[in-house]
Protein backbone atom coordinates (compact mmCIF):
# COMPACT_ATOMS: atom_id res chain seq x y z
CA UNK A 1 0.00 0.00 0.00
CA UNK A 2 1.73 3.08 -1.19
CA UNK A 3 -0.04 5.47 1.12
CA UNK A 4 2.80 7.93 1.68
CA UNK A 5 3.45 8.77 -1.92
CA UNK A 6 3.63 12.43 -2.83
CA UNK A 7 2.84 13.71 -6.28
CA UNK A 8 6.01 14.90 -7.91
CA UNK A 9 4.89 15.53 -11.45
CA UNK A 10 4.51 13.57 -14.63
CA UNK A 11 7.67 11.53 -14.09
CA UNK A 12 6.22 9.98 -10.96
CA UNK A 13 6.48 6.17 -11.24
CA UNK A 14 3.24 5.76 -9.27
CA UNK A 15 1.32 7.44 -12.03
CA UNK A 16 -0.05 4.09 -13.24
CA UNK A 17 -1.63 3.44 -9.84
CA UNK A 18 -5.28 2.46 -9.68
CA UNK A 19 -7.79 5.30 -9.80
CA UNK A 20 -9.01 5.02 -6.21
CA UNK A 21 -5.52 5.51 -4.75
CA UNK A 22 -3.53 7.75 -7.06
CA UNK A 23 -0.01 8.79 -6.13
CA UNK A 24 -1.07 12.30 -5.11
CA UNK A 25 -3.48 11.04 -2.45
CA UNK A 26 -1.75 11.83 0.86
CA UNK A 27 -1.75 9.07 3.44
CA UNK A 28 -3.90 10.91 5.97
CA UNK A 29 -6.85 11.11 3.59
CA UNK A 30 -9.12 8.24 2.71
CA UNK A 31 -10.32 9.44 -0.68
CA UNK A 32 -9.35 12.02 -3.28
CA UNK A 33 -12.63 13.87 -2.76
CA UNK A 34 -11.94 14.16 0.97
CA UNK A 35 -8.45 15.52 0.23
CA UNK A 36 -9.84 18.00 -2.28
CA UNK A 37 -12.52 19.28 0.06
CA UNK A 38 -10.06 19.67 2.94
CA UNK A 39 -7.73 21.72 0.75
CA UNK A 40 -10.46 24.07 -0.44
CA UNK A 41 -11.81 24.37 3.11
CA UNK A 42 -8.38 25.59 4.21
CA UNK A 43 -8.27 28.04 1.31
CA UNK A 44 -11.66 29.42 2.29
CA UNK A 45 -10.51 29.95 5.87
CA UNK A 46 -7.67 32.07 4.49
CA UNK A 47 -10.13 34.00 2.33
CA UNK A 48 -12.29 34.68 5.41
CA UNK A 49 -9.33 36.44 7.03
CA UNK A 50 -9.01 38.43 3.80
CA UNK A 51 -12.68 39.47 4.06
CA UNK A 52 -11.94 40.94 7.47
CA UNK A 53 -8.73 42.55 6.20
CA UNK A 54 -10.47 44.39 3.35
CA UNK A 55 -13.53 44.73 5.58
CA UNK A 56 -11.64 47.10 7.85
CA UNK A 57 -10.84 49.33 4.89
CA UNK A 58 -14.45 49.28 3.68
CA UNK A 59 -15.58 50.15 7.21
CA UNK A 60 -13.19 53.14 7.33
CA UNK A 61 -14.42 54.32 3.93
CA UNK A 62 -18.06 54.07 5.03
CA UNK A 63 -17.46 56.13 8.16
CA UNK A 64 -15.30 58.86 6.66
CA UNK A 65 -17.60 59.22 3.69
CA UNK A 66 -20.37 60.06 6.12
CA UNK A 67 -18.20 62.49 8.08
CA UNK A 68 -16.69 64.39 5.14
CA UNK A 69 -19.42 63.70 2.61
CA UNK A 70 -18.78 66.75 0.36
CA UNK A 71 -15.04 66.10 0.18
CA UNK A 72 -15.60 62.43 -0.66
CA UNK A 73 -18.12 63.31 -3.36
CA UNK A 74 -15.72 65.83 -4.93
CA UNK A 75 -12.81 63.37 -4.73
CA UNK A 76 -14.84 60.53 -6.21
CA UNK A 77 -15.98 62.66 -9.15
CA UNK A 78 -12.38 63.22 -10.26
CA UNK A 79 -12.10 59.52 -11.18
CA UNK A 80 -12.79 58.29 -14.71
CA UNK A 81 -15.88 56.07 -14.81
CA UNK A 82 -14.84 54.89 -18.29
CA UNK A 83 -11.51 53.51 -17.06
CA UNK A 84 -13.18 52.05 -13.97
CA UNK A 85 -15.86 50.26 -15.98
CA UNK A 86 -13.29 48.94 -18.47
CA UNK A 87 -11.19 47.58 -15.63
CA UNK A 88 -14.23 45.92 -14.05
CA UNK A 89 -15.00 44.17 -17.34
CA UNK A 90 -11.33 43.15 -17.76
CA UNK A 91 -11.23 41.66 -14.27
CA UNK A 92 -14.52 39.79 -14.73
CA UNK A 93 -13.17 38.38 -18.01
CA UNK A 94 -10.01 37.24 -16.22
CA UNK A 95 -12.17 35.50 -13.61
CA UNK A 96 -13.89 33.68 -16.46
CA UNK A 97 -10.60 32.59 -18.04
CA UNK A 98 -9.41 31.40 -14.61
CA UNK A 99 -12.61 29.40 -14.17
CA UNK A 100 -11.96 27.86 -17.59
CA UNK A 101 -8.45 27.01 -16.38
CA UNK A 102 -9.93 25.09 -13.45
CA UNK A 103 -12.27 23.31 -15.85
CA UNK A 104 -9.41 22.45 -18.24
CA UNK A 105 -7.37 20.99 -15.39
CA UNK A 106 -10.33 18.89 -14.31
CA UNK A 107 -10.92 17.41 -17.76
CA UNK A 108 -7.12 16.94 -18.07
CA UNK A 109 -6.74 19.25 -21.05
CA UNK A 110 -3.16 20.56 -20.94
CA UNK A 111 -3.52 22.92 -23.90
CA UNK A 112 -6.71 24.43 -22.49
CA UNK A 113 -5.06 24.91 -19.11
CA UNK A 114 -2.02 26.66 -20.63
CA UNK A 115 -4.24 28.93 -22.75
CA UNK A 116 -6.49 29.84 -19.82
CA UNK A 117 -3.61 30.62 -17.46
CA UNK A 118 -1.87 32.75 -20.12
CA UNK A 119 -5.05 34.69 -20.83
CA UNK A 120 -5.59 35.26 -17.12
CA UNK A 121 -2.06 36.63 -16.79
CA UNK A 122 -2.62 38.87 -19.81
CA UNK A 123 -5.92 40.26 -18.51
CA UNK A 124 -4.42 40.76 -15.05
CA UNK A 125 -1.61 42.80 -16.59
CA UNK A 126 -4.10 44.85 -18.64
CA UNK A 127 -5.95 45.66 -15.41
CA UNK A 128 -2.72 46.79 -13.72
CA UNK A 129 -1.79 48.81 -16.81
CA UNK A 130 -5.08 50.74 -16.75
CA UNK A 131 -4.66 51.20 -13.00
CA UNK A 132 -1.23 52.71 -13.65
CA UNK A 133 -2.74 55.22 -16.08
CA UNK A 134 -5.27 56.18 -13.42
CA UNK A 135 -2.59 56.56 -10.75
CA UNK A 136 -0.54 58.69 -13.13
CA UNK A 137 -3.55 60.99 -13.68
CA UNK A 138 -3.81 61.47 -9.92
CA UNK A 139 -0.10 62.32 -9.81
CA UNK A 140 -0.41 64.91 -12.59
CA UNK A 141 -3.49 66.46 -10.92
CA UNK A 142 -1.74 66.73 -7.53
CA UNK A 143 -4.42 64.53 -6.00
CA UNK A 144 -2.03 62.21 -4.18
CA UNK A 145 -2.37 62.89 -0.44
CA UNK A 146 0.72 64.38 1.17
CA UNK A 147 3.00 67.37 0.68
CA UNK A 148 2.24 67.81 -3.04
CA UNK A 149 -1.54 67.61 -2.60
CA UNK A 150 -3.40 70.63 -3.97
CA UNK A 151 -6.93 71.70 -2.97
CA UNK A 152 -7.12 73.93 -6.06
CA UNK A 153 -9.42 71.64 -8.08
CA UNK A 154 -11.87 71.45 -5.19
CA UNK A 155 -11.88 75.06 -4.03
CA UNK A 156 -12.04 76.43 -7.59
CA UNK A 157 -13.55 73.60 -9.69
CA UNK A 158 -13.01 73.96 -13.44
CA UNK A 159 -16.45 72.53 -14.16
CA UNK A 160 -19.05 75.18 -13.27
CA UNK A 161 -21.57 72.47 -12.29
CA UNK A 162 -19.34 71.35 -9.40
CA UNK A 163 -19.96 72.97 -6.05
CA UNK A 164 -16.78 74.67 -4.73
CA UNK A 165 -15.64 73.38 -1.35
CA UNK A 166 -14.44 75.46 1.58
CA UNK A 167 -10.64 75.08 1.96
CA UNK A 168 -10.91 73.08 5.20
CA UNK A 169 -13.42 70.65 3.68
CA UNK A 170 -11.28 70.46 0.52
CA UNK A 171 -8.37 69.31 2.69
CA UNK A 172 -10.44 66.30 3.69
CA UNK A 173 -10.44 65.18 0.06
CA UNK A 174 -6.97 63.90 0.98
CA UNK A 175 -8.71 61.35 3.17
CA UNK A 176 -10.75 60.16 0.21
CA UNK A 177 -7.60 59.80 -1.89
CA UNK A 178 -5.74 58.14 0.96
CA UNK A 179 -8.47 55.49 1.19
CA UNK A 180 -8.64 55.30 -2.61
CA UNK A 181 -4.92 54.51 -2.83
CA UNK A 182 -4.97 52.22 0.21
CA UNK A 183 -7.89 50.15 -1.10
CA UNK A 184 -7.01 50.00 -4.79
CA UNK A 185 -3.31 49.67 -3.89
CA UNK A 186 -3.97 46.72 -1.59
CA UNK A 187 -6.16 45.24 -4.31
CA UNK A 188 -3.41 45.79 -6.89
CA UNK A 189 -0.87 44.15 -4.56
CA UNK A 190 -3.13 41.09 -4.42
CA UNK A 191 -3.21 41.10 -8.22
CA UNK A 192 0.59 41.35 -8.45
CA UNK A 193 0.97 38.42 -6.05
CA UNK A 194 -1.69 36.53 -8.03
CA UNK A 195 0.03 37.14 -11.37
CA UNK A 196 3.38 36.03 -9.91
CA UNK A 197 1.78 32.78 -8.73
CA UNK A 198 0.12 32.40 -12.15
CA UNK A 199 3.54 32.48 -13.82
CA UNK A 200 4.69 29.66 -11.52
CA UNK A 201 1.53 27.64 -12.23
CA UNK A 202 1.99 28.24 -15.97
CA UNK A 203 5.59 26.99 -15.75
CA UNK A 204 4.52 23.87 -13.85
CA UNK A 205 1.59 23.24 -16.20
CA UNK A 206 3.95 23.61 -19.15
CA UNK A 207 5.93 20.71 -17.68
CA UNK A 208 2.77 18.62 -17.44
CA UNK A 209 1.47 19.30 -13.92
CA UNK A 210 -2.20 19.56 -12.86
CA UNK A 211 -3.65 17.42 -15.65
CA UNK A 212 -3.29 14.10 -13.83
CA UNK A 213 -6.41 14.51 -11.69
CA UNK A 214 -4.61 16.39 -8.92
CA UNK A 215 -6.10 19.85 -9.39
CA UNK A 216 -6.24 21.24 -5.83
CA UNK A 217 -3.54 23.84 -6.44
CA UNK A 218 -5.32 25.22 -9.51
CA UNK A 219 -8.71 25.06 -7.74
CA UNK A 220 -7.44 26.99 -4.74
CA UNK A 221 -5.62 29.57 -6.79
CA UNK A 222 -8.89 30.04 -8.69
CA UNK A 223 -10.63 30.76 -5.38
CA UNK A 224 -8.01 33.42 -4.60
CA UNK A 225 -8.34 35.04 -8.02
CA UNK A 226 -12.15 35.15 -7.81
CA UNK A 227 -11.93 36.62 -4.33
CA UNK A 228 -9.75 39.46 -5.61
CA UNK A 229 -12.38 39.96 -8.32
CA UNK A 230 -15.12 40.21 -5.67
CA UNK A 231 -13.15 42.88 -3.79
CA UNK A 232 -13.03 44.93 -6.98
CA UNK A 233 -16.76 44.35 -7.60
CA UNK A 234 -17.36 46.33 -4.39
CA UNK A 235 -14.54 48.86 -4.78
CA UNK A 236 -15.81 49.93 -8.19
CA UNK A 237 -19.28 51.22 -7.16
CA UNK A 238 -18.07 52.63 -3.85
CA UNK A 239 -15.11 54.59 -5.24
CA UNK A 240 -16.38 55.51 -8.71
CA UNK A 241 -20.14 55.38 -9.00
CA UNK A 242 -22.16 56.29 -5.93
CA UNK A 243 -21.16 59.97 -5.75
CA UNK A 244 -22.36 61.11 -9.17
CA UNK A 245 -25.61 62.48 -7.78
CA UNK A 246 -24.81 63.72 -4.26
CA UNK A 247 -27.58 64.47 -1.81
CA UNK A 248 -28.15 68.17 -1.42
CA UNK B 1 -8.14 -1.38 3.66
CA UNK B 2 -10.71 -1.27 6.41
CA UNK B 3 -10.92 2.48 6.80
CA UNK B 4 -14.51 3.63 6.86
CA UNK B 5 -15.30 6.01 4.02
CA UNK B 6 -16.08 9.39 5.61
CA UNK B 7 -19.23 11.29 4.84
CA UNK B 8 -18.26 13.67 2.07
CA UNK B 9 -19.39 15.55 -0.92
CA UNK B 10 -19.09 14.18 -4.41
CA UNK B 11 -16.95 16.37 -6.63
CA UNK B 12 -18.86 18.22 -9.30
CA UNK B 13 -17.19 19.57 -12.44
CA UNK B 14 -18.72 22.86 -13.56
CA UNK B 15 -18.76 23.18 -17.33
CA UNK B 16 -17.99 26.03 -19.77
CA UNK B 17 -21.70 26.64 -20.45
CA UNK B 18 -22.36 27.68 -16.87
CA UNK B 19 -19.20 29.80 -16.77
CA UNK B 20 -20.11 31.57 -20.01
CA UNK B 21 -23.62 32.29 -18.76
CA UNK B 22 -22.27 33.76 -15.50
CA UNK B 23 -19.71 35.83 -17.43
CA UNK B 24 -22.52 37.30 -19.54
CA UNK B 25 -24.64 38.02 -16.48
CA UNK B 26 -21.70 39.75 -14.76
CA UNK B 27 -20.93 41.91 -17.80
CA UNK B 28 -24.60 42.90 -18.18
CA UNK B 29 -24.77 43.78 -14.48
CA UNK B 30 -21.59 45.87 -14.80
CA UNK B 31 -23.09 47.81 -17.71
CA UNK B 32 -26.31 48.25 -15.72
CA UNK B 33 -24.60 49.55 -12.60
CA UNK B 34 -22.56 52.05 -14.64
CA UNK B 35 -25.62 53.22 -16.58
CA UNK B 36 -27.74 53.56 -13.46
CA UNK B 37 -25.04 55.72 -11.82
CA UNK B 38 -25.89 58.51 -14.30
CA UNK B 39 -29.56 58.56 -13.25
CA UNK B 40 -30.38 60.70 -10.24
CA UNK B 41 -32.21 58.44 -7.80
CA UNK B 42 -31.30 60.39 -4.68
CA UNK B 43 -30.70 58.16 -1.70
CA UNK B 44 -31.20 55.04 -3.81
CA UNK B 45 -28.07 55.51 -5.96
CA UNK B 46 -25.72 53.87 -3.44
CA UNK B 47 -28.35 51.31 -2.44
CA UNK B 48 -28.87 50.13 -6.04
CA UNK B 49 -25.10 50.17 -6.74
CA UNK B 50 -24.35 48.03 -3.68
CA UNK B 51 -27.34 45.78 -4.41
CA UNK B 52 -26.00 45.04 -7.90
CA UNK B 53 -22.53 44.57 -6.39
CA UNK B 54 -23.89 41.99 -3.93
CA UNK B 55 -25.71 40.18 -6.74
CA UNK B 56 -22.49 40.00 -8.77
CA UNK B 57 -20.51 38.78 -5.75
CA UNK B 58 -23.09 36.07 -5.05
CA UNK B 59 -22.91 34.88 -8.69
CA UNK B 60 -19.10 34.69 -8.49
CA UNK B 61 -19.19 32.83 -5.16
CA UNK B 62 -21.91 30.37 -6.16
CA UNK B 63 -20.65 29.47 -9.63
CA UNK B 64 -17.04 30.57 -10.25
CA UNK B 65 -16.09 29.51 -6.72
CA UNK B 66 -18.33 26.40 -6.86
CA UNK B 67 -20.12 27.01 -3.56
CA UNK B 68 -23.43 26.11 -5.25
CA UNK B 69 -22.02 22.60 -5.74
CA UNK B 70 -20.23 22.31 -2.40
CA UNK B 71 -21.12 20.58 0.83
CA UNK B 72 -23.14 22.24 3.58
CA UNK B 73 -20.12 22.79 5.79
CA UNK B 74 -18.51 24.87 3.03
CA UNK B 75 -21.65 26.95 2.49
CA UNK B 76 -21.91 27.54 6.21
CA UNK B 77 -18.24 28.55 6.48
CA UNK B 78 -18.50 31.06 3.65
CA UNK B 79 -21.75 32.41 5.07
CA UNK B 80 -20.13 32.75 8.49
CA UNK B 81 -17.33 34.83 6.98
CA UNK B 82 -19.66 37.37 5.41
CA UNK B 83 -21.84 37.36 8.51
CA UNK B 84 -18.81 38.32 10.61
CA UNK B 85 -18.18 41.23 8.26
CA UNK B 86 -21.79 42.36 8.74
CA UNK B 87 -21.25 42.19 12.51
CA UNK B 88 -18.23 44.51 12.09
CA UNK B 89 -20.34 47.04 10.14
CA UNK B 90 -23.42 46.82 12.36
CA UNK B 91 -21.60 47.11 15.68
CA UNK B 92 -19.42 50.01 14.55
CA UNK B 93 -22.28 51.94 12.98
CA UNK B 94 -24.61 51.41 15.95
CA UNK B 95 -21.84 52.90 18.12
CA UNK B 96 -21.45 55.95 15.87
CA UNK B 97 -25.19 56.48 15.49
CA UNK B 98 -25.89 56.25 19.22
CA UNK B 99 -23.07 58.55 20.40
CA UNK B 100 -24.44 61.90 19.28
CA UNK B 101 -28.04 60.84 19.20
CA UNK B 102 -30.06 62.92 16.76
CA UNK B 103 -27.12 64.98 15.55
CA UNK B 104 -26.45 62.99 12.42
**A88, A233 Cβ separation under 8 angstroms:** yes
Q: How many CB atoms lie within 10 A of CB A3?
A: 11
Is it true that domain A46-241 has CATH number 3.40.1130.10?
Answer: no
- Give residues with Cβ within 8 angstroms of A116, minimum separation 6: A97, A98, A100, A101, A104
- Between A89, A223, A244, which is nearest B27 by CB? A89
The model carries a pTM of 0.90
Task: Tell me which H or E stretch contains A187.
Answer: helix A173-206
Q: Is A157 helix (H, G, I), strand (E, B) or coil?
A: coil
Q: If pLDDT is split at 50, 70 and 90, which confidence band does A161 have?
A: confident
pLDDT score, position B7: 58
Q: Which residue has the higher pLDDT, B1 or A71?
A: A71
Residues in chain A with CB shorter than 8 Å from the CB of B99 are none
- Domain boundaries, given as residue ranges, for chain A: 46-241
**pLDDT-above-90 percentage for chain A:** 84
Distance of CA B4 to the CA centre of its chain: 36
**pLDDT-above-70 percentage for chain A:** 92
Q: d(Cα B42, Cα A195) in Å, to the nearest integer?
A: 40
Contact call for B65 and A96, based on CB within 8 A? no
Residues in chain A with CB shorter than 8 Å from the CB of B34 are 81, 85, 241
pLDDT in tens, A28-70: 899 888 999 999 999 999 999 999 999 999 999 999 999 999 9
Looking at the complex, report in whole angstroms how far the Cα of residue A89 sits from the nearest Cα belonging to chain B: 6
pLDDT score, position A107: 96
- Between A59, A93, A226, which is nearest B92 by CB? A59
Contact call for A237 and B74, based on CB within 8 A? no
Q: d(Cα A3, Cα A23) in Å, to the nearest integer?
A: 8
Looking at the complex, report in whole angstroms how far the Cα of residue A1 sits from the nearest Cα belonging to chain B: 9
Contact call for B57 and A106, based on CB within 8 A? no
Residues 13-32 of B with CB under 8 A from A: 13-16, 19-20, 22-23, 26-27, 30-31
B35 in contact with chain A, both atoms CB, cutoff 8 A = no
pLDDT in tens, A178-237: 999 999 999 999 999 999 999 999 999 999 999 998 999 999 999 999 999 999 999 999
Give me the long-range contacts of A34-41 (CB less than 8 A, separation at least 24): A34/B6, A34/B8, A35/A216, A36/A215, A36/A216, A36/A219, A36/B11, A37/B8, A37/B9, A37/B70, A37/B71, A37/B74, A39/A216, A39/A219, A39/A220, A40/A216, A40/A219, A40/A220, A40/A223, A40/B70, A40/B74, A41/B73, A41/B74, A41/B77
pLDDT score, position B5: 56
pLDDT score, position A1: 44
pLDDT in tens, B62-83: 999 999 999 999 999 999 999 9
Asked if residue A10 has pLDDT above 70, the reply is no
Test mutation, B4, B45, B65, B96, chain A, max A CBs within 10 A: B65
Asked if residue A86 has pLDDT above 90, the reply is yes
Phi-psi region of A11 (alpha: psi -120 to 50; beta: other; left: phi over 0): alpha
Residues 202-231 of A with CB under 8 A from B: 222-223, 226-227, 229-230
Work out the average pLDDT over A143-171: 91
pLDDT score, position B96: 86
Amino acid sequence: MDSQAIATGPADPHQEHDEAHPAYLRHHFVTVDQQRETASFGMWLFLLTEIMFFGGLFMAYLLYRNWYYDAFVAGSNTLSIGLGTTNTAVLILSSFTMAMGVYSAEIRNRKGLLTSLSLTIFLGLVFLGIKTVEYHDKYVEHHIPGASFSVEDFVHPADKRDVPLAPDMAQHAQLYFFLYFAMTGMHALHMIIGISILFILLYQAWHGAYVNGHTSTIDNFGLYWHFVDIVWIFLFPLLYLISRHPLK
Amino acid sequence: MSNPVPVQHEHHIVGPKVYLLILLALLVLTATTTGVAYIDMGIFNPIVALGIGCLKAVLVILFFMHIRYSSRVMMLTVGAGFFTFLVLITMTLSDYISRNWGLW
